[in-house]
Amino acid sequence: MAVDVVGVLFLAYFLVALFLSLDARYPIGAALVLLGVSAVILAFEPPWEFSAEDTAVYAYYFLVIGVALRVVEFARKSDKPLAVVIWRKIKRRMF
């Protein structure tokens, strides 16, 4: 069974960012940069082995990490359970 090194690195970054309370804007910014790089790679088709699809997948990973960190930040700042806060926000928008 092969271990996906990139997946392990992303998981390690998420755990380090989670425990050290790093700012969630950094992985979201990295995702935006990687999407731009993906567009450039797709437009110019350089002779590298790295493809635009790979950079888009990495951008998605960074985006998921950033959103998860934002949810954790939101939960840490709230004095109520996260489910209660989310339900109240949804209820306000529906009614």
**pLDDT given for residue 65 in this prediction:** 93
Longest dimension (CA), the chain: 55
With beta carbons less than 8 A apart as the criterion, state whether 33 and 42 touch. Answer: no
**Residues in the chain, pLDDT under 70:** 1-3, 48, 80, 82-83, 94-95
* pLDDT at position 94: 67
The 3-class secondary structure across the chain, one letter per residue, is CCCCHHHHHHHHHHHHHHHCCCCCHHHHHHHHHHHHHHHHHHHHCCCCCCCHHHHHHHHHHHHHHHHHHHHHHHHHHCCCCHHHHHHHHHHHHHC
